[in-house]
């Protein structure tokens, strides 16, 4: 097809405009002529999820700079939708040298060959993949190539409100589905709801897998597998609609379950360690515990791992320095700061112990990682998660009679 001529046409128009406004066009990357002793600049793209996280990254970057005085590192946080900005940046070849990539979005990037495979560079710079948590490494591998190093990760756990438990006369947090159901019933009174969980796959998936379900296998969506119905029916129909001892956060007037927990509107929620700083900010005096997710009677535990890696731009002019920076940020020195910050867990296996020594009460997250699956469903991730979210929501809102009908519709949406 005549793609070139269209693009040429566009560019010709651009040139006319450039002449008209009389502006000297200066491309963003003029530093490629830099000689060895000159300072080079590495751009790092990402998002800033909180001032605390930003401070941690600043510290990590400062550490790298003091060891590499000839490298300037510029962090460019994306404001607004991250992928929305990354796409035009990649299309115009102006993406940063290193940039954040969520495991969930990674397959699309790896498959399209948009990012640089780094195996050779890692070898050259003596980076050992076996130092990293396996699930976090695998999330960024495709066709036997590695495309990024995970900077940190999170898993899910059950948060429970100790005071409300005491009031309801419950001595220990639930370990099984039956206990979860019974405890939730006991806790539901005086404006408190026993259990809150949003109608989203990245919260209920562990329960679904415990019951023998699978949503994605061998590159295909398996939403209509009959075992998938069990968890959806249990949480969104039995507990929410029949027992009325559980609710989605919106019903409680909240954006997310963690906020309902912080305000003591829900006694138990399933969240990751990101909830901890929120509770500290909103309800500093709240007493709560964090335990592993309840497991269905006789079933194996399940969890999910949320992780973000640094990926290397194909267009980077300083790939060696960029790999150095990547290795530093995700290596022991960099992740020491991650551990201190306590917002997420370190992906270096060895550092997991340091995390536990510092935060023994958060053991559940580390334990969860050992049996967690990455939050990733090939290139159909966006559609699959969206369909599964809507399926569980359909059960809560009564738009579909039961999980079976909702899942049948979800499967058709993906094809």
Partner 1 sequence: MRTRGDLATGYLFVLPVVVSLAVFLIGPILYALYISFHHFSFLAPDQATFAGLDNYLKLFKDPRFIRALGNTSLYSLGVVPIQIAIALMLALIVDAKIKGKTLFRVVYFLPTVTSTVAVSVMFMYLFKNDGLVNFVLSKLSIPTFDWFNSLTFALPAVMMMAIWTTVGQFMVIYLAGLQDIPQELYEAAEVDGATPWQRLRFITWPMLKPTTFFILIMSIIGTFQVFDQMYVISKGEGGPQDRTLTVVFYLYRAAFKDFDMGYASAMAFALFLIILLLTIIQRKFFKEETN
Partner 2 sequence: MKKLWRVLFYTVVIGYAVLTMIPFLWSILTSLKSTPDMDKFWVPLSSLTLENYTYIVTKFPFFKWLLNSAIVAGSVTLGNLFFNTLAGYALARIKFPGRGLIFYVVLGVMMVPGQVVMIPVYIMLANWGWINTYQGFIIPFLTSSFGIFMMRQFFLALPVDLEEAALIDGLSRWGIFFRIALPLAKPALAAQTIFMFLGNWNSFMWPSLLASSDDMYTLPVGLNSFHWQYVAYWNQDLAGTMFMTIPMLLVFLIFQRWFIKGIATSGLK
Q: In terms of CB distance, is 301 or 342 closer to partner 2? A: 342
Q: How many residues bind partner 2 (CB under 8 A)?
A: 42
The reply to whether 3 sits near partner 1 by the rule CB under 8 A is: yes
DSSP 8-state class, residue 31: G
Q: How far apart are the first and last CA of the chain?
A: 28
For the segment 86-115, give every residue that binds partner 1 (CB under 8 A).
87-88, 90-91, 108-109, 112-114
Binding-residue pattern over the window 114 to 153 for partner 1, x denoting contact by CB under 8 A: x---------------------------------------
The reply to whether 26 sits near partner 2 by the rule CB under 8 A is: yes
With CB under 8 A as the contact rule, the residue among 5, 9, 70, 74 that binds partner 2 is: 74
For the segment 314-353, give every residue that binds partner 1 (CB under 8 A).
none
Which class for 3: exposed (0-12), middle (13-18), buried (19 or more C-beta within 10 A)?
A: exposed
Please give the helix or strand (H or E) that residue 89 lies within, else none.
helix 82-91
Binding-residue pattern over the window 95 to 134 for partner 2, x denoting contact by CB under 8 A: ----------------------------------------
With CB under 8 A as the contact rule, the residue among 186, 319, 362, 383 that binds partner 1 is: 383
Quote the least distance from Cβ 1 to partner 1, whole Å: 5
The residues, ordered by sequence, that sit 6+ positions from 231 with a Cβ below 8 Å of its Cβ are 204, 207, 208, 210, 211, 213
Instruction: Give the sign of the dihedral formed by CA 209, CA 224, CA 137, CA 49.
Output: negative
Q: In terms of CB distance, is 43 or 254 closer to partner 1? A: 254
- Cβ 332 vs Cβ 350: under 8 Å: yes
Quote the least distance from Cβ 222 to partner 2, whole Å: 29
Q: What is the three-class DSSP state of 245?
A: coil
From 149-157, 180-188, 250-258, 321-329, span contacting partner 1 (CB under 8 A): 250-258
The reply to whether 77 sits near partner 2 by the rule CB under 8 A is: yes
Name residue, tokens 């003591």: 264
Q: Which tokens hold the place of 99?
A: 């940039």
Distance CA 66, CA 12 (A): 45
With CB under 8 A as the contact rule, the residue among 14, 31, 128, 178 that binds partner 1 is: 14
Length of the chain: 415
Distance CA 77, CA 75 (A): 6
Quote the least distance from Cβ 103 to partner 1, whole Å: 16
The reply to whether 298 sits near partner 2 by the rule CB under 8 A is: no
Burial of 225-236, coded b for 16+ CB within 10 Å and e otherwise, reads beebbbbbbbbb
The reply to whether 94 sits near partner 2 by the rule CB under 8 A is: yes
Residue 127: what are its φ and ψ, rounded to 5°? -100, 130
The reply to whether 11 sits near partner 2 by the rule CB under 8 A is: yes
Name residue, tokens 């995390």: 355
Positions in the binding site for partner 1 (CB under 8 A): 1, 3, 6-7, 9-10, 13-14, 16-17, 20, 81, 83-84, 87-88, 90-91, 108-109, 112-114, 248, 250-255, 382-383, 386, 389-390, 393-394, 397, 399, 412-413
């Amino acid at each position: 097809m005549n793609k070139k001529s269209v693009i040429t046409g566009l560019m010709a128009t651009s040139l006319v405009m450039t002449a008209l406004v009389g502006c000297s066009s200066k491309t963003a990357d003029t530093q490629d002529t830099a000689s060895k002793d000159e300072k080079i600049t590495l751009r790092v793209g990402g998002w800033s999820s909180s001032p605390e996280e930003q401070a941690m990254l600043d510290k990590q970057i400062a550490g790298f700079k003091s060891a590499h005085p000839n490298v300037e590192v510029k962090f460019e946080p994306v404001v607004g939708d991250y992928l929305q900005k990354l796409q035009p940046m990649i299309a115009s070849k102006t993406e940063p040298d290193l940039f954040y990539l969520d495991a969930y979005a990674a397959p699309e990037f790896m498959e399209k060959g948009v990012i640089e495979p780094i195996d050779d560079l890692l070898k050259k710079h003596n980076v050992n993949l076996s130092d990293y948590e396996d699930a976090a490494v695998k999330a960024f591998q495709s066709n036997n190539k590695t495309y990024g190093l995970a900077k940190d990760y999170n898993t899910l756990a059950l948060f429970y409100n100790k005071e409300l438990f005491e009031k309801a006369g419950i001595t220990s947090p639930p370990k099984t589905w039956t206990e979860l159901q019974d405890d939730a019933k006991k806790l539901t009174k005086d404006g408190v709801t026993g259990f809150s969980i949003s109608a989203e796959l990245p919260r209920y998936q562990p329960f679904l897998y415990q019951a023998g379900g699978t949503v994605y296998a061998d590159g295909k969506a398996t939403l209509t597998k009959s075992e998938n119905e069990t968890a959806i029916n249990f949480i969104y129909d039995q507990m929410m609609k029949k027992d009325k001892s559980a609710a989605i956060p919106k019903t409680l007037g909240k954006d997310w379950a963690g906020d309902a927990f912080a305000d003591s509107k829900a006694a138990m929620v399933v969240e990751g360690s990101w909830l901890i700083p929120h509770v500290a900010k909103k309800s500093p005096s709240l007493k709560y515990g964090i335990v592993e997710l309840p497991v269905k009677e006789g079933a194996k535990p399940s969890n999910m791992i949320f992780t973000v890696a640094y990926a290397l731009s194909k267009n980077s002019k300083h790939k060696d320095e960029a790999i150095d920076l990547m290795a530093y940020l995700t290596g022991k020195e960099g992740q020491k700061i991650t551990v201190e910050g306590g917002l997420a867990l370190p992906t270096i296996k060895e550092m997991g112990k340091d995390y536990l020594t510092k935060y023994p009460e958060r053991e559940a997250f580390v334990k969860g990682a050992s049996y967690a699956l990455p939050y990733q469903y090939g290139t159909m991730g966006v559609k699959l998660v969206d369909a599964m979210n809507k399926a569980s929501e359909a059960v809560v809102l009564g738009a579909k009679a039961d999980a079976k009908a909702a899942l049948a519709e979800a499967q058709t949406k993906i094809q």
